Structure 1
Amino acid sequence: MNQHFQETILKATGAQSLNRTASIQSLWSGYGEIIRYSLEGSKMKSVVVKHVNLPEGGNHPRGWNTDLSHQRKLKSYKVETEWYKSFANSCDQNCKVPECYALETLGSEVLMVMEDLDELGFAKRLSASVNWKNINACLSWLSNFHATFLHIKPQGLWETGTYWHLNTRPEELEAMDDLPLKNAAAAIDRALTSSPFQTLVHGDAKLANFCFSEDGEKVAAVDFQYVGGGCGMKDLAYFIGSCMSENDCEKYEEQILNTYFEFLKAALNRKQNSTNFIALEHNWRNLYHTAWADFHRFLKGWHPGHWKINSYSERVSREVIKSIAH
C-alpha cells in the first residue's frame, strides 16, 4: 500500500503506527483486497481496510471479461464509497454496519478504512451450517434495514440495487436457453421496480456478508457495492437461497415470510413510520416469488450449472411466468 494511504489510516485512527496482520480476502476478479491492520497508539486495536486497485480489465472466473462487466465493477466501488459517505450513518444497532473512518481515492486506487467488526463482537462467520437463531438474526437485520430506508431515494447509489438486475446483465440474458423465462424477464423486472414500496436493498445479502456475534443472535453486514433502490423481497429471496436447501426453502417459506414481516412491522412502528403496513405486506408478499424468479433468471444465463438452480426455483419461476402472462 502506498505511503499516502498509510498516512491516511494513521490520521483517521489517531494511531502512531500500523501493522498488516491478515489478508481477509481478495476482491472479485483481482480488484484489490480486504486487509486487517493492527494499530499502535490508538484507542482502536485494529481496523479493516478495503483497498481497491482498479485494473484495466479483470480476470473473471466465469469468463465475462467484457467492458460492461468492468464498468459495472468500477461503478460498484463508487457506489460503496457513496454509501459510507451519505447513507451508512442512518443504520442503528438493529441493522449494524461498520463505521467508516476514512474514504480516499487516488488515481486508480480507492481506500476505505472501517471499523473492525471482530473487535465489536461480530467475529463469527457461517458458511453452510445455520440454525433458526442465525436465520432470524439476518431476517431481523434485513427488515430493519428495509424499514430504515423505506421511500428513500438512492441518490448516488445504484438506481436499481443488486448485482443481477436486468439492465446491467444483457449478456447473461442473451446467453439464456430457457426461452419462457427469458421472454418474461422484462415483465418480472417491471413488477419489482413498479412496487409502490421502494426501499434500499443491500444488493448482495448472502450469508457470507453477515458477521455474527458468538452466540449467533446478532449480526452486522458488510459489502455494500450493490446497494440501491428496490423491493425488499429481492434481498430476502437472495438471502434464503444462499443458506437453505431447496426442500427447506419450500417447507419453511411461510415461516420465513411471517417472521420477516413481524420484524418489519415492529421496525416501522419503532421508527413511527406511517406507511400503510397492510398494503406494504400484501404487495411484498406477492413479489417474493417474483424476486426469486428474477435471480433465477440471472443464474440461468450466468452459470447454467449453478447449484442454486433447483426444482423449487424452477417451479416458482414457472408460476411467476404464468401469473405475468395472465
Structure 2
Amino acid sequence: MPPPVLQVDWANKLQSHFQGAPILGVKSRPIGSLWAGYGGVSSLQVQLKDQSAPVALIVKDVRPPRGSGVSHERKVASYRVEEYFYKNIAPDLISATGLGIPRPLAIESAPTGFQFVLTDLRTEYPHPAPDSLDGKQVRAVLSWLATYHAYFWEQPTPAGLQQQGSYWYLDTRREEFAQMGRSWGDLKEVAEEVDQRLKSPGKSEFMTCIHGDVKNENLLFSADGTRCAAYDFQYTGRSYGVRDVVYLFASSVDSSDLDEREDEYLSYYHAELLDRLATSRGAAGVEAAARYRPDVMRRHFDLALLDYVRFMAGWGMWGSGVDWAVRRTRALIPRVNQLLQQQQQQQQ
C-alpha cells in the first residue's frame, strides 16, 4: 500500500526559492511510488506571478517504513548518498558537463525520511525510455555515461558517495549469494575473487564514480532520441565505469541487438570516454585516455558482467538483455582465471 499523501503548503514552502516572483498557486499530483514502499514521487506545477507557463518540479518523498536488516539499511543509506549527491555534487557536475540531471531546488532530511525537490527533466526530455532501447537511444546513454565517468575519472571518491558503486555488490548481497543454484556453482566459486578485483583496493587507476542504477526506468530522452537524462542517484560511487554499461545492457537492451552489436556499442562508449577525457581534463586526461586501452576496458567489462550475473543468479533473472548476459557469462567462465590473473597484474 502506498504511503498517504502528505498535505504540504507548497507555496509557502517554496516561496524563498523564487525571490522576486510571488507564487500564485501550486498544483501537486502523485505520479509514482518508490521501491519497496519507501515513499512516493509527485509532480508540482508552480505558477508564478507575471509568468504564463508554470515551473515544473518533481518531489521525491522518502519515508522508510520501520525495519532492520541489511536490505533496509542499504536502502536508507542509499538515500543519504542521494542527499549528498544533490547537495554537494550535482550543481558543479551539471555546470561543468551540461548533463541531463535534475537540478536540486530544496533538499531536506529528518529522522523520518528525506525530501528532494528537483527540476522536472520532462520539460527538456519528454520521452520515457521503452523496455528495450533502440540503437540511437543506447548511444545516447553511452555518451551520457562517458561524460559522467570522465568527470570523476581517477579522482578520489567523494566521502558522501558509495565507496562501492552499484546496488548489487557482494558485501551487501550475501543472502542472494547463498541462494545461487547448483547450475551456477562455477560462478559462485570465483565470485569472491571477481568482487575483490572489481574493488581494486588501494588503487585509483581507471576508477571513477558510476551512476549505479542505469536502467530504462531511470532514463528520459529528448524528442529526437539523441540525448538522454538520468535520475535516481542512490547508488552512485566508486567502481569501473563499464559496470554501468553492463547493467544498461543486461537490463534495457534487447538480447538479439546485443548479440549483433555488443562490440560496436563498447567501441562507441570507449571512443566517447576517451574524447571526454582528452577535452575536459587537459594533459592529464590525454595521458589517462592513452592508458585506457580497449583490452583493459574489455577485461573490466567481462569481470563486471560476471559479477552482475552472480547477483541475478541469486536474486532472479530479469531484463531485456538477460539472455545475452547469461550466454556471455557461460562463455566467460572457462577463462575466468585468465581474466583474474590479468587483472591482478594490472593492480600490482
Residue type of the alignment partner of 2:111: G
Q: Which runs of 5+ in 1 are unaligned?
A: 58-65
TM-score, structure 1 normalization: 0.89
Q: Does 1:68 align with 2:70?
A: yes
Give the corresponding residue for 2:315.
302
Greater share of helix? 2
C-alpha distance after superposition, 1:62-97 (max 9, x if no partner): xxxx61100000001000000111111223455321
> Which protein has the larger Cα radius of gyration, Structure 1 or Structure 2?
2
1:173-252 equivalences under 5 Å are 173-177=177-181, 178-194=184-200, 196-252=205-261
Corresponding residue to 2:171 among 162, 167, 172: 167
Answer whether contact 1:296 1:313 (CA < 8 A) is retained.
no
C-alpha distance after superposition, 1:162-191 (max 9, x if no partner): 000111111111111222111211111122
**CA–CA separation in structure 1 for the residues paired with 2:177 and 2:234:** 22
Give the corresponding residue for 1:268.
277
Distance 1:239 1:304, change over 3 A: closer
**CA–CA separation in structure 1 for the residues paired with 2:250 and 2:159:** 29
Distance 1:274 1:50, change over 3 A: same
**CA–CA separation in structure 2 for the residues paired with 1:128 and 1:3:** 34
Give the corresponding residue for 2:56.
46
Residue type of the alignment partner of 2:301: Y
**CA–CA separation in structure 1 for the residues paired with 2:257 and 2:335:** 20
1:99-138 equivalences under 5 Å are 99-119=103-123, 121-138=124-141
Residue type of the alignment partner of 1:193: K
Distance 1:27 1:240, change over 3 A: same
Shift of 1:325: 6.7
Distance 1:7 1:180, change over 3 A: farther
Q: Which runs of 5+ in 2 are unaligned?
A: 1-5, 342-348
SS in 2 for 1:87: helix
Distance 1:220 1:109, change over 3 A: same
Distance 1:233 1:190, change over 3 A: same
Answer whether contact 1:36 1:47 (CA < 8 A) is retained.
yes
Shift of 1:7: 3.9
Corresponding residue to 2:336 among 305, 321, 324: 321
SS in 1 for 2:292: helix
**CA–CA separation in structure 2 for the residues paired with 1:4 and 1:74:** 26
**CA–CA separation in structure 2 for the residues paired with 1:107 and 1:189:** 33
Q: Does 1:98 align with 2:107?
A: no
**CA–CA separation in structure 1 for the residues paired with 2:216 and 2:225:** 12
Shift of 1:263: 0.6
SS in 1 for 2:330: helix
Shift of 1:314: 3.4
Question: How many equivalent residue pairs?
Answer: 316
CA RMSD of aligned residues (A): 2.2
C-alpha distance after superposition, 1:134-161 (max 9, x if no partner): 1111110000000011123131111000
**What's the % identity of the aligned pairs?**
29
Give the corresponding residue for 2:327.
312
SS in 2 for 1:155: coil
C-alpha distance after superposition, 1:236-283 (max 9, x if no partner): 111111222323223212101110011111111221224432322342
Answer whether contact 1:250 1:312 (CA < 8 A) is retained.
no
Distance 1:305 1:41, change over 3 A: closer
TM-score, structure 2 normalization: 0.84
Residue type of the alignment partner of 1:74: V
Structure 1's consecutive aligned runs of 4 or more residues displaced over 6 angstroms after TM superposition are none
**CA–CA separation in structure 1 for the residues paired with 2:147 and 2:207:** 14
C-alpha distance after superposition, 1:91-137 (max 9, x if no partner): 34553211101111133121101011112x20101223432211111
Corresponding residue to 1:277 among 289, 301, 308: 289
SS in 1 for 2:165: coil
**CA–CA separation in structure 2 for the residues paired with 1:320 and 1:205:** 28
Residue type of the alignment partner of 1:18: V
Answer whether contact 2:126 2:221 (CA < 8 A) is retained.
yes
